[in-house]
C-alpha cells in the first residue's frame, strides 16, 4: 500500500501541478481578454467620436449647401429679371431703329422725287428754250437749222439718259438699303425669338 499510496501521492502531485498550470494559463488568458476588451472599448469609442465628427461635418456642409442654393436661386432670379429688361430694351431699340430707317428711306424717296421733278422742269425749260431758238433760227438756211436741232436734240437725249441713270441708281440703292434693313430686322427678330 505504500507503493500504491506513493503512486497516488505522485499522481496527486502531478494533478495539482497541472491544475496550477491550467489555472495559471486561464488567469493569463483572462488578463489578455480584459486587455483585449479594453482595447476594443477604446477603438469603439474612437470610431464613435469619428462618426460624430463626420456627422457634424455633414450637417455643416448641408447648411452651407442650402445657403449656396438659396444664393444661386436669388442670383438666377436676378439674372432672369435683367434678361427680361434687356429683351424689352432690345425690342424697343429695334422698333425705333426700324422706324428711323423707314423714315430715312421715305425721305430719300421724297428727295429723289423732288429732284426728278426739278430736273424735268429744267429739261422742259431747256427744251422750250431750244424750241424758241429753233423757231427764231428758221430764218437761217436749212443745213444750219438741222445742225442746231441735231445738237440740241443730242444734248437733250444725253440729259435724259443721265437723268434715267440717276433714277436707276437711286432706285437700286433704295432697293438694296430696304432689303438690307429688312434682313437686319429679320435677324434681330430671329435672335429675340430664340432667346
| pLDDT per residue as tens, the chain (195 positions) | 567 767 777 877 888 888 777 777 777 676 777 787 788 888 888 888 898 899 899 999 999 999 999 999 999 999 889 988 988 888 888 888 888 877 887 787 787 778 777 877 777 777 777 767 766 665 555 677 677 777 877 887 787 778 778 777 877 777 787 788 778 777 877 877 775
Residue 173's pLDDT is what?
A: 78
Cell representation of residue 6: 506513493
Neighbours of 166 (CB within 10 A): 14
Domain ranges of the chain: 2-194
Is residue 123 a contact partner of residue 156, using CB atoms and an 8 Å limit? yes
Residue 104's pLDDT is what?
A: 80
Is residue 163 a contact partner of residue 127, using CB atoms and an 8 Å limit? no
Could you give the angle at the alpha carbon of 47 between the alpha carbons of 45 and 48, nearest 5°? 60
Neighbours of 8 (CB within 10 A): 11
Residue 41 and residue 48: Cα distance in Å, rounded?
10
pTM of the prediction? Answer: 0.39
Is residue 67 a contact partner of residue 175, using CB atoms and an 8 Å limit? no
Residue 143's pLDDT is what?
A: 72
Residue 96 and residue 30: Cα distance in Å, rounded?
97
Residue 71's pLDDT is what?
A: 92
Residue 57's pLDDT is what?
A: 93
Residue 2's pLDDT is what?
A: 64
Residue 149's pLDDT is what?
A: 73
Cell representation of residue 179: 432689303
CA distance from start to end of the chain: 119
Residue 40 and residue 55: Cα distance in Å, rounded?
22
Query: Which helix (DSSP H) or strand (DSSP E) does residue 140 occupy?
Result: none
112-126: string of b/e by CB count within 10 Å (b at 16+)?
Answer: beeeeeebeeeeeee
Query: Which helix (DSSP H) or strand (DSSP E) does residue 120 occupy?
Result: helix 2-136
Cell representation of residue 84: 427680361
The answer for 40, left when phi > 0, alpha when psi is -120 to 50, beta otherwise, is: alpha
Amino acid at each position: 500500500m505504500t507503493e500504491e499510496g506513493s503512486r497516488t501521492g505522485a499522481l496527486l502531485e502531478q494533478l495539482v501541478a497541472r491544475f496550477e498550470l491550467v489555472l495559471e494559463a486561464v488567469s493569463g488568458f483572462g488578463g489578455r481578454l480584459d486587455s483585449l476588451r479594453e482595447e476594443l472599448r477604446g477603438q469603439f469609442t474612437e470610431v464613435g467620436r469619428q462618426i460624430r465628427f463626420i456627422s457634424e461635418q455633414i450637417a455643416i456642409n448641408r447648411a452651407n449647401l442650402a445657403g449656396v442654393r438659396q444664393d444661386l436661386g436669388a442670383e438666377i432670379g436676378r439674372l432672369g429679371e435683367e434678361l427680361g429688361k434687356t429683351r424689352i430694351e432690345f425690342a424697343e431699340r429695334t422698333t425705333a431703329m426700324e422706324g428711323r430707317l423707314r423714315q430715312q428711306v421715305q425721305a430719300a424717296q421724297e428727295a429723289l422725287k423732288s429732284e426728278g421733278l426739278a430736273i424735268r422742269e429744267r429739261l422742259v425749260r431747256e427744251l422750250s428754250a431750244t424750241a424758241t431758238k429753233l423757231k427764231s433760227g428758221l430764218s437761217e438756211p436749212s443745213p444750219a437749222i438741222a445742225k442746231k436741232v441735231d445738237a440740241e436734240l443730242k444734248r437733250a437725249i444725253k440729259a435724259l439718259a443721265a437723268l434715267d441713270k440717276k433714277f436707276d441708281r437711286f432706285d437700286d440703292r433704295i432697293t438694296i438699303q430696304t432689303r438690307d434693313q429688312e434682313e437686319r430686322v429679320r435677324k434681330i427678330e430671329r435672335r429675340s425669338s430664340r432667346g
